[in-house]
């Protein structure tokens, strides 16, 4: 069963939404109910849900549920929203509030702009149109991820064929871009899933007893291992991506953020590509993504390793020309001054369970003088010069002679 960050019961008029509390992973799976924009704002700001596509989906679903509450007559009687003449103003103010939760990922902002255009009639019609928008967003995000996965896998294998590479290879990734950051399957991790499925099919076809053995060989290159970066300071790589890779039985080895160069220069399995997600891709291709992505791109360039951004076109920001205009979110200093985790029982390597609440005991460990000033940007901007391709559901944007990205269709 695939991991689900967002559970959406889409019964019209009585929709329900639950999100997996990602702060408790990898030791505990607990879902939180979302009933309003306040709930959506809270889980996004606190990073109980995170990842650009998932943030947009939860944001939109929280708007839908707030409209559903407004439609409830008994609720209307006790709320100031009762004055429907001011509905549009009130809803737009609520959308501004939701938008202020996390500034860098553009998917939520794009979705909110779309929703503003739907606020033009009575509440029931607004609810119906947001309901349709929300359902389409969830479904299309999943379908687009699967398409991106295939586009990225085919593209890389074709590139490796061009350079006549044969044999096993490894890939790098940063942060979490999988099922937990999307409506399912993932972006960069989606490409990795597709590459893994192809490798598995290759293995099966090598087994003469397997039905897959009758199928033609598709590539001479095979991804055999993923190296996720731990992704300090929030550790999305070690807490979330590691969890997903283990869950899906994709061979992987976690590395620290500072091990990339040494891994590349010493690994017995050649590293052939890095796949990263995106929080915002502006018009010239500059890309905001998790802090550490820029330096990963520089290292890849140094070693001649392909560096790909993988994102749906909902992550495109068509209003901003260059990356220096992107607002980069700074997280609270204490997210850096402390390592947050779960206490592990030394004897069993299982989390210590609090007897009263029956939940794992959380630990917060200081790693610097508490009055040490720190700088804690959540994202960085990778200049388009260091990006070899932008993999989307529409195809792969690669750079032409003029140094600009052009959409190239991916052939089967
Ligand atoms: O701070 P986060 O965990 O929300 O950051 C997430 C990332 O940077 C992801 O790489 C990006 O949102 C793409 S997720 C498919």
- Which ligand 1 atom sits closest to the C-alpha of 178? 15
Distance 175 CA to ligand 1 centre (A): 6
DSSP 276-300: E--SEE-TTS-EEEETTHHHHHHHH
pLDDT over 90, % of the chain: 78
Smallest CA separation from ligand 1 atom 5, residue? 51
Smallest CA separation from ligand 1 atom 8, residue? 290
Distance 87 CA to ligand 1 centre (A): 33
In this predicted structure, what is the pLDDT of residue 73? 67
- Which ligand 1 atom sits closest to the C-alpha of 315? 13
- Which ligand 1 atom sits closest to the C-alpha of 175? 10
Smallest CA separation from ligand 1 atom 10, residue? 277
In this predicted structure, what is the pLDDT of residue 28? 87
Q: What confidence tier does 1 reach under pLDDT thresholds 50, 70, 90? A: low
- Which ligand 1 atom sits closest to the C-alpha of 311? 15
- Select from 22, 53, 236, 328 the residue to mutate for testing ligand 1; criterion: most ligand atoms less than 8 Å from CB: 236
Span 226-240, average pLDDT: 97
Distance 305 CA to ligand 1 centre (A): 22
State whether residue 228 is helix, strand or coil: strand
74 pLDDT higher than 60 = no
At 159-206, the pLDDT tens digits run 999 999 999 999 999 999 999 999 999 999 999 999 999 999 887 777
For 71, 87, 218, 284, the CA distances from 79, given in Å and listed in that order, are 11, 12, 61, 46
In this predicted structure, what is the pLDDT of residue 77? 60
29 pLDDT higher than 80 = yes
- Select from 230, 279, 292 the residue to mutate for testing ligand 1; criterion: most ligand atoms less than 8 Å from CB: 279
State whether residue 368 is helix, strand or coil: coil
In this predicted structure, what is the pLDDT of residue 337? 96
- Which ligand 1 atom sits closest to the C-alpha of 105? 12
Distance 119 CA to ligand 1 centre (A): 29
Closest Cα partner for 231 from 243, 247, 213, 215? Answer: 243
In this predicted structure, what is the pLDDT of residue 213? 56
ipTM field = 0.98
d(CA 120, CA 213): 58
Where does residue 65 fall: left (phi above 0), alpha (psi -120 to 50 degrees), or beta otherwise?
alpha
- The pTM of the full predicted model, rounded to 2 decimals, is 0.93
Q: What is the dihedral of CA 173, 306, 271, 383, to 10 degrees?
A: -50
412 pLDDT higher than 80 = no
Q: 205 and 231 in contact (C-beta within 8 Å)?
A: no
In this predicted structure, what is the pLDDT of residue 347? 83
d(CA 399, CA 309): 13
d(CA 410, CA 137): 24
Structure tokens at 75: 């609720």
Q: 310 and 148 in contact (C-beta within 8 Å)?
A: yes
DSSP 128-153: HHHHHHHHHHHHHHHHHHHHHHHHHH
Distance 356 CA to ligand 1 centre (A): 34
d(CA 184, CA 146): 9
96 catalytic, yes or no?
no
d(CA 5, CA 249): 19
Q: 59 and 108 in contact (C-beta within 8 Å)?
A: yes
- Select from 43, 51, 58 the residue to mutate for testing ligand 1; criterion: most ligand atoms less than 8 Å from CB: 51
In this predicted structure, what is the pLDDT of residue 217? 59
Structure tokens at 14: 């009585």
Residue of 39, 279, 317, 380 marked active site = 279
At 263-319, the pLDDT tens digits run 999 999 999 999 999 999 999 999 999 999 999 999 999 999 999 999 999 999 999
Distance 278 CA to ligand 1 centre (A): 7
258 versus 344: which is more confidently predicted?
Answer: 258
- Select from 19, 50, 288 the residue to mutate for testing ligand 1; criterion: most ligand atoms less than 8 Å from CB: 50
Q: What is the DSSP letter of 252?
A: B
Show contacts of 395-398: CB within 8 Å, 24+ apart. 395/151, 396/151, 396/152, 396/155, 397/285
Can you state the percent helix, strand and coil of the chain, rounding each to 5? 45, 20, 35
d(CA 221, CA 296): 23
d(CA 95, CA 113): 9
Structure tokens at 369: 């003088």
- Cβ neighbors of 251 (< 8 A, separation 6 or more) are 224, 225, 226
- Which ligand 1 atom sits closest to the C-alpha of 276? 10
Q: 378 and 290 in contact (C-beta within 8 Å)?
A: yes
Where does residue 391 fall: left (phi above 0), alpha (psi -120 to 50 degrees), or beta otherwise?
beta
Distance 295 CA to ligand 1 centre (A): 16
Distance 73 CA to ligand 1 centre (A): 38
Residues near ligand 1 with C-beta < 6 Å? 50-53, 105, 175, 177, 181-182, 187, 236, 277-279, 289-290, 378
d(CA 36, CA 34): 6
At 367-385, the pLDDT tens digits run 999 999 999 999 999 999 9
């Amino acid at each position: 069963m695939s991991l689900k960050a967002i559970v959406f019961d889409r019964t019209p008029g009585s929709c329900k939404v639950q999100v997996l509390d990602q702060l408790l992973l990898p030791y505990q799976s607990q879902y939180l109910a979302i009933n309003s924009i306040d709930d959506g704002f809270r889980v996004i700001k606190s990073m109980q849900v995170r990842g650009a596509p998932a943030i947009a989906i939860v944001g939109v679903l929280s708007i839908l549920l707030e409209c559903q509450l407004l439609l409830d007559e008994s609720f209307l009687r006790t709320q100031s929203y009762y004055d429907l003449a001011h509905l549009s103003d009130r809803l737009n103010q609520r959308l501004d509030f939701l938008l202020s939760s996390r500034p860098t990922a553009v998917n939520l902002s794009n979705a909110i702009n779309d929703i503003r255009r739907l606020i033009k009639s009575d509440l029931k019609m607004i609810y119906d149109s947001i309901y349709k928008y929300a359902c389409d967003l969830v479904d299309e995000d999943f379908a687009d991820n699967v398409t991106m996965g295939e586009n990225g896998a085919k593209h890389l294998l074709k590139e490796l064929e061009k350079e006549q590479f044969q044999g096993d290879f490894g890939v790098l990734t940063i942060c979490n871009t999988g099922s937990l950051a999307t409506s399912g399957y993932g972006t960069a991790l989606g490409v990795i899933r597709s590459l893994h499925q192809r490798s598995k099919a290759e293995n099966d076809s090598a087994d003469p007893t397997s039905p897959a053995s009758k199928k033609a060989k598709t590539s001479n290159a095979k991804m055999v291992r993923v190296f996720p970066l731990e992704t300090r300071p929030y550790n999305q790589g070690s807490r979330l991506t590691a969890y997903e890779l283990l869950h899906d039985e994709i061979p992987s080895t976690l590395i620290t953020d500072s091990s990339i160069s040494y891994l590349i220069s010493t690994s017995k399995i050649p590293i052939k590509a890095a796949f990263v997600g995106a929080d915002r891709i502006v018009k010239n291709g500059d890309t905001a993504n998790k802090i550490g992505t820029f330096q990963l791109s520089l290292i890849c360039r140094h070693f001649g390793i392909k560096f790909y951004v993988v994102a749906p076109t909902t992550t495109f920001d068509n209003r901003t020309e260059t990356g220096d205009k992107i607002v980069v979110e700074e997280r609270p200093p204490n997210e850096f001054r402390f390592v947050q985790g779960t206490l592990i029982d030394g004897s069993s390597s299982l989390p210590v369970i609090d007897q009263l609440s029956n939940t794992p005991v959380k630990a917060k460990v200081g790693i610097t003088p508490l009055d040490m000033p720190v700088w804690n940007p959540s994202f960085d901007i990778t200049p388009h010069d260091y990006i070899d391709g932008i993999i989307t559901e529409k195809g792969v944007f690669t750079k032409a002679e003029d140094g600009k990205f052009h959409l190239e269709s991916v052939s089967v």
